[in-house]
Structure 1
Amino acid sequence: RETASQWTFGRPIGGHEPVDWTESRYIVLIGHHIGEDTHNTQLQDFAEALRRGAKLVVVDPRFSTAASKAHRWLPIKPGTDLALLLAWIHVLIKEDLYDRDYVQKYTVGFEELAVHSNKHTPEWAEKITEIPAETIRAVAREMADAKPRAVLPPGRHTVWYGDDTQRMRAVYILNALLGNYGVPGGFYLAKPPYLEKYPHPPFPLEPAAGGCSGSSGGAEEVPEGFKPRADKGKFFAKTTAIQELIEPMLSGEPYPIRGLVCYGTNLFHSIPNVPRTKKALAKLDLYVAIDVLPMEHVMWADVILPECTYLERYDDLAAIAHKTPFIELRQPAVEPLWDTKPGWWIARELGLRLGLEKYFPWKNIEEYLDTRLQLIGSSLEEMKQKGTLIQKGRPYLKDWERRHRNPFKTPSGKIELYSRTFAEHGLDPLPDYTPPMPVPEGFYRLLYGRTPVHSFAKTQNNWVLMELKAENEVWIHREEGRKLGLRHGEYVWLENDAGVREGPVRVRLTERIRRDCVYLVHGFGHKGRGLRLAYGRGASDNALQTRYVLDPISGGAALRNNFVKVVKGAARPRLKRIGQLARERRL
């Protein structure tokens, strides 16, 4: 979503989706997890939009929590979302429903898009998506009636099938045709808050996501003594593809990676093809794990640096780009337990021992934070009282135009419907549909998602949260369950087409999902025995994701090309109930 946004708008989306929820009058969610994740502020804004009467359309193979609030649920065939988006673009252009003034003023490439869209009729899309052509037309017309206060939010997890940058380009192009980018009720222009860095000498190399040399911007030149990025040249985008750092650990190409420091990332629940990851860890000379829990991957480490929890530490200031930019302080509520240390202390102590004192001139985190805040006219003492500093933003195009500034940092200085840069690099300048990998006979496509109770695979050892949700279930359509002779609530194994078996996991028979797929909540199926509560409960979707398809533009690993069959005969796990474990702990 970030790569597509940069090459369409010249701006990032950022961690906090810049959607003007409360001002929207028509919202179309495509595979969006809102209501089933832990983003509380966003959910409140979404709920307020519905309270104010916004109409909601949900496109999802599964009848999600959001779908239960919608006036239309479109149970799309998995992997065909781009075809639906292209058909909506076709209707808006063919029926002259797009925002003509906005498109003329702020975009380039409309003529090429109009020609390109001729073939993407609703009838063409119906055969692919299994959504009726008349429904496709009706939604496009409803969007147009509500423009510019009609919006298609991008979502957070958007790497699905391998065509993901182009699918997100189609999402952004559709929003531009509705005239909503930088307009109330659509996308606001998120502005980061003003916050100075702590004064220190310049870094010889700006860090990239995942580290491993190379600059975050993917610069061609690297300073003397530094290696180029290990994934350099694989993808058009300059972002680091984290899973592609595993291969050099195994093959030594383009150079061997011999050491890994893993901070707060559950490797066996976040990187596909877990057996390959384990082989890579076994080949390292040094593996250091920094975590708050004894996750399974932590037990593979040569050195474990236990971190204290978020309630026991200061973290760096959080600077959030938003409609009203803000700075947040996380401060300790209690002293750290046992032999644990905050992340800032671990980083500083390692730096000092490596002779990097000039980059850590501060003596403690309070001095570091206070210095940064003093540079903007505040102080740590003030932030302790307030918790948050709110600054003024420039959320709409009119705010930028009053200052005679252009928010679009694209080559053309406008929203690029047609990307000449993509064309020059041999990439499709306009999104086009490519079919997903077909489902093998006797298998189901594996879909996955979130629960509002847990944060990814990090909180399944929390007593309070596990009493609310102790395991995941496999969603299977009721008719498919009848065919397979399944009973609601029985335990089964899931086995993928590579022969990897996972579970046991409880069956949930429901009509809230299409018949060609199954669904798991992510984050369960922990194998680390040190996790007294989480161990052995539910199934890990990541363990079943042995195949991934790389997006050629962004390098994102698409995980919805994995297929599973249901294997009967699994016994109910012999595990104590969470409540009993909690009582034993108290005693």
Structure 2
Amino acid sequence: MHRISRDAAGKPSLIAWEGDGNPSPIGLDQLSEEVQALRVRRPSFRESWLREGAGARRERRGSDRFVEVPWDEAFELVAGELNRVITTHGNNSIFGGSYGWGSAGRFHHAQSQIHRFLNAIGGYVKGRDSYSFGAGSVIMPHIAAPMEELLDQHTDWNTLAAHNELFVAFGGIPLRNTQMTAGGPSRHRVREALDQMRARGVRFVNISPLKQDIDGAAEWLPIRPGSDVALILALLHVLISENLDDRKFLSRYCVGGEQVKRYVLGEKDGQSKTPEWASAITGVPAHRIIELARDMGRSLTMINASWSLQRQSHGEQAYWAIVTLASHIGQIGQPGGGFGIGYGTLNSVGSSELRLSGPRLSQGSNPVEQFIPVARIADALLEPGARFDYDGGTYEYPDIRLVYWAGGNPYHHHQDLNRFISAWRKPETIIVHEQFWTSSAKAADIVLPASTTLERNDIGFASREGQMVAMRKLQEPLADAKSDFDIFGGITRCMGKEGEFTEGRTAEEWLENIYEDFRQRNTTLVALPGFCEFWEAGRLEIQTPNKPTIMFERFRADPERHPLKTPSGRIELYSERIASFGYDDCPGQATWLEPLEWLGSQKTARFPLHLLSQEPSRRLHSQLDHSPHSRSGKVMGREPILLNPKDAIARGIADGDVVRVFNDRGACLASAQLSGDLLDGVAIIATGAWFDPTDWALTNSLEKHGNPNVVTIDAPASKLSQATVAQSCLVDVELFVGELPAVTAFDLPKFAAEDTARSKSPRV
């Protein structure tokens, strides 16, 4: 959370809130010249689209000139295009894309705004699940509970400090991820929580290729990426064969324990999942697997999996295996024990603050039933009419003619970006709302300038963060920028749908409306003042409950009165429902399935390094990559790639060298950083560098800035979830030789003179 400070001349700046003992520096430079220079200032239309019509010269997306037009004309053009597409092809030809960056406020939440708008004009094809934990979203309701419920119910840090003895972290607990919470964090608590746990004698084990994935003292077990399931099965083998498993817990609270036992002991497939078997796959010594299993069975143990663990080939199996392991230890529902699937991913996970359903803008009703799993957007654009499996059903990709995107950057979060360029050329029209000239904005047909958080009033709130903030406008919108609400209001006015969208309320009236609705919904949980009193105060502290949060505590106390939402009402270690789907890539229990790409693959003969694309520490995803804070972390203007010195020396690479990272899907440039705290054979690049191809007209040109999604694979985790597998990626790295191309990610697009373009436009 940020606070406004002004100098003697009244010039504003952002500083960290004094109530936060470990504030994040991300976003403090939002008012800098570097950030403001990249603003989208006026409605901008791709020249070929404006001059020749929808669908014209789509290969020029990303490199075409733009024409700035006034808002009244922009509203008419956008409304006309939406009416054309709806009349000709129907609302199921419109894809409403949004990742909705939650820190923007609860009213000016782009995802809520765009979905409400599209529903007001007849509906749209939606994206389902998320890139963050798409596989988890689909698998967890089958075996334990919906992902969103689990994230809100994690045992709180204070309880862990008081009771936990052993914290085993698959994928670590990286503090870089805990700088944020959807809706906005208040006090950053995770570093202090880990320190408190260590002070009380908790032992941490970091199972990750990178030692720094846990901040502070921890035992490091380096593991080959993508092999966690094999390690977990071997831990189960030790527990079962040495009678350390809790069979009473398995009998009362779980179904499928016998199927797990038969598989682990090799009775189902002839392969016993011994520590020696797992060691050959994971690289973890067999004796350490045995020691760890015994420690886990005899300690009060919390087992945590990062979200990265399920962003891989067969990612569902990792979460299923984690729950299976915790069930065999038998401490689920007890203070200090059990499992987690989110510690170290968000600041709010593990919070002891009150869980409340926050203020929200109703999105209305969507009459269009078709959807796309979000990570399959390229498949949908490239293969309209093709059929796909998803969570037990079979569906058909719609024929998308228009993409409308507000809140998000698909050229950041999607995989195999060269393939995505081809897919992005398929729609006739692409409309985006943007604050800055990102790669997605440059590759759009229509770019409508959105105001920033500092240029509008809103309400800041996140469940389990302990406060609500009046986000008062600091300054007027830059140039012709407008809020998403005002943009959609202008378009619906031209379409005769303004009443359906605004309901006759201004933005300020909506703020009061959603606040009062929030207050009434939560009146039995917390006493809140009226809106005017809240707005005057500026910030509300929400009283922390005295009762600790313990995941599945009520289920443990009485599984008959408090069953889970699974088909059996219990934890499903074997799922009859999933088994009935007949998926070869997602069987009915946690299973070791070889990833598409990993260090045990024959593909390592050509691409011997496993590339991981982790969350960045200097920005939120790709947001504010152009800020001084983010750019100061680059080397020679490019995103760093972390390499083990052995791998670097073998390739003649020194620290700071610019290198080419490549596979059959593409190549990008990055700057080498060497560390012995990274498992050899593994490389890491943070995500979020704005996509910067050498030539947008090509679909396989060199990317100059260090965006790892140029080389990641665009394939589904399984037929069950269709989620991303970004962490299953093999590459090679070589020293870049030749003239170093300039980074142009932060250059503005070219603009055509308005009168020149419009004089030849069929739309004027």
Q: Which TM-score tier does this pair reach, normalised by the shorter chain? A: 0.7 to 0.9
Superposed, which structure 2 residues align to 1:296-445 within 5 Å?
A: 296-315=439-458, 318-320=461-463, 322=464, 330-354=471-495, 355=497, 357-375=499-517, 376-377=519-520, 378=528, 379-384=530-535, 385=537, 386-387=539-540, 389=542, 395-396=549-550, 397-398=552-553, 405-406=561-562, 408-427=564-583, 428-436=587-595, 437=597, 438=601, 439-443=603-607, 444-445=609-610
Instruction: Return the offset for 1:20.
Output: 3.0
2:683 maps to a residue whose letter is V
Corresponding residue to 2:414 among 252, 271, 282: 271
Cα 1:199–1:502 change in 2 (3 A) is closer
Letter in 2 for 1:475: L
| Contact 1:33-1:449 within 8 A present in 2 as well | no
DSSP 3-state at the match of 2:321: helix
Distance verdict in 2 for CA 1:111–1:362, change over 3 Å: farther
User: Paired residue for 1:181?
Assistant: 332
1:48 aligns with 2:202: no
Counterpart of 1:561, as a letter, is S
Of residues 106, 112, 121, the one that matches 2:253 is 106
Gaps of 5+ in 1: 206-212, 215-227, 232-240, 530-535, 577-587
Report the residue type matching 2:664 in the other structure: D
Distance 1:135 1:42 in 2: 28
The CA deviation at 1:306 is 1.6
Cα distance in 1 for residues equivalent to 2:309 and 2:457: 31
Distance 1:362 1:494 in 2: 53
Tell me if the contact between 2:211 and 2:222 (Cα under 8 Å) persists in the aligned partners: yes
For residues 522 and 405 of structure 1, do their structure 2 counterparts lie closer, same or farther at Cα, with a shift above 3 Å needed?
Answer: same
Q: Classify the secondary structure of the residue corresponding to 1:372.
A: helix
Change beyond 3 A, Cα 1:104–1:326: farther
Q: Deviations over 1:42-68 (max 9, x none)?
A: 4443343233332111111222241x6
Q: Is residue 2:491 matched to residue 1:491?
A: no
AA in 1 matched with 2:356: P
Aligned residue type for 2:626: N
Moved more, 349-358 or 151-160: 349-358
Q: 1:269 to 1:287 in 2, by over 3 A?
A: same
Q: Which residue of 1 aligns with 2:365?
A: 203
1:551 aligns with 2:718: yes
1:80 aligns with 2:227: yes
**By how many angstroms is 1:511 displaced?**
1.8
Worse-matched range after superposition: 457-466 or 31-40: 31-40
Q: Distance in 2 between matches of 1:265 and 1:199?
A: 20
* Larger CA Rg, structure 1 vs 2: 2
Distance 2:739 2:154 in 1: 44
- The range that moved more, 105-114 or 179-188, is 179-188
Q: Distance in 2 between matches of 1:330 and 1:415?
A: 42
Higher mean displacement: 111-120 or 75-84: 111-120
Paired residue for 2:244, among 97, 109, 112? Answer: 97
After superposition, the CA RMSD in angstroms is: 3.3
Q: Which amino acid aligns with 2:619?
A: H
Provide the residue aligned with 1:221 in structure 2: none
**1:242 alignment counterpart:** 374
Determine if contact 2:153/2:549 at 8 Å carries over to the other structure: no
Question: 2:561 and 2:510 mapped to 1: Cα distance?
Answer: 34
**Aligned AA (1:433):** W
Measured against aligned partners, the alpha-carbon deviations of 1:121-162 in whole angstroms (never above 9, x if no partner) come to 212211211211110111112222222xx2122323344432
Following superposition, the deviation at residue 295 of structure 1 comes to 0.4
Please tell me the residue identity of whatever aligns with 2:577: T
Give, in angstroms, the shift of residue 344 of structure 1: 3.4
* Letter of the structure 2 residue corresponding to residue 303 of structure 1: I
- Residue pair 2:406, 2:432 contacting (<8 A) in 1 also: yes
User: Quick one: which amino acid aligns to residue 358 of structure 1?
Assistant: E
In structure 2, distance between residues paired with 1:528 and 1:454: 21
1:327 to partner: Cα distance: 5.9
Contact 1:547–1:562 (Cα < 8 Å) also in 2: no
Question: Structure 1 stretch 393-402 or stretch 379-388: which is displaced more?
Answer: 393-402
**Distance in 1, Cα, partners of 2:673 & 2:171:** 20
Report how many aligned residue pairs link the two structures: 533
Deviations 1:455-481 (A, max 9, x none): 112221112443355643222221222
Aligned equivalents of 2:487, 2:304: Cα separation in 1: 38
Residue number in structure 2 paired with 1:518: 683
**Residue of structure 1 equivalent to 2:674:** 509
Distance in 1 (alpha carbons) for counterparts of 2:145 and 2:228: 24
In structure 2, stretches of 5+ residues that fail to align are 1-135, 181-187, 266-271, 341-349, 386-396, 521-527, 695-702, 744-764
CA contact (8 A) 1:274 1:546 kept: no
Residue 171 (structure 1) aligned with residue 322 (structure 2): yes
Q: Distance in 1 between matches of 2:691 and 2:571?
A: 45
Distance across 2 between alignment mates of 1:574 and 1:243: 31
Measure, in 2, the Cα distance between the counterparts of 1:359 and 1:153: 43
Residue 36 of structure 1, aligned match among 169, 176, 179: 176
CA distance in 1, matches of 2:489, 2:355: 26
Report the more deviating stretch, 542-551 or 428-437: 542-551
Q: 2:280 matched to which residue of 1?
A: 127
Q: Secondary structure at the match of 2:626?
A: coil
| Residue 145 (str. 1) matches residue 262 (str. 2) | no
Conserved? CA contact 2:401–2:429, under 8 Å: yes
Q: Identify the residue that residue 455 of structure 1 maps to in structure 2.
A: 620
Question: Contact 1:325–1:391 at 8 Å: present in 2 too?
Answer: yes
CA distance in 2, matches of 1:463, 1:26: 40
Give the aligned partner of residue 11 of structure 2: none
How big is the shift at 1:340? 1.7
Q: Which residue of structure 2 aligns with residue 8 of structure 1?
A: 143
Counterpart pick for 2:166 among 26, 29, 35: 26
SS of the residue 1:520 aligns to: strand
Inter-CA distance 294–35: structure 2 relative to 1 (3 Å threshold): same
**Bigger relative contact order, structure 1 or 2, given CA contacts below 8 A and separation 6+?**
2
Aligned residues: percent identity? 21
The whole-number CA distance in structure 1 between the counterparts of 2:153 and 2:644 is 32
- Structure 1 residue 331 displacement after superposition: 4.3
**Other structure's SS at 1:162 match:** coil
Question: Following the alignment from structure 1 to structure 2, what is the Cα–Cα distance between the partners of residues 487 and 60?
Answer: 24
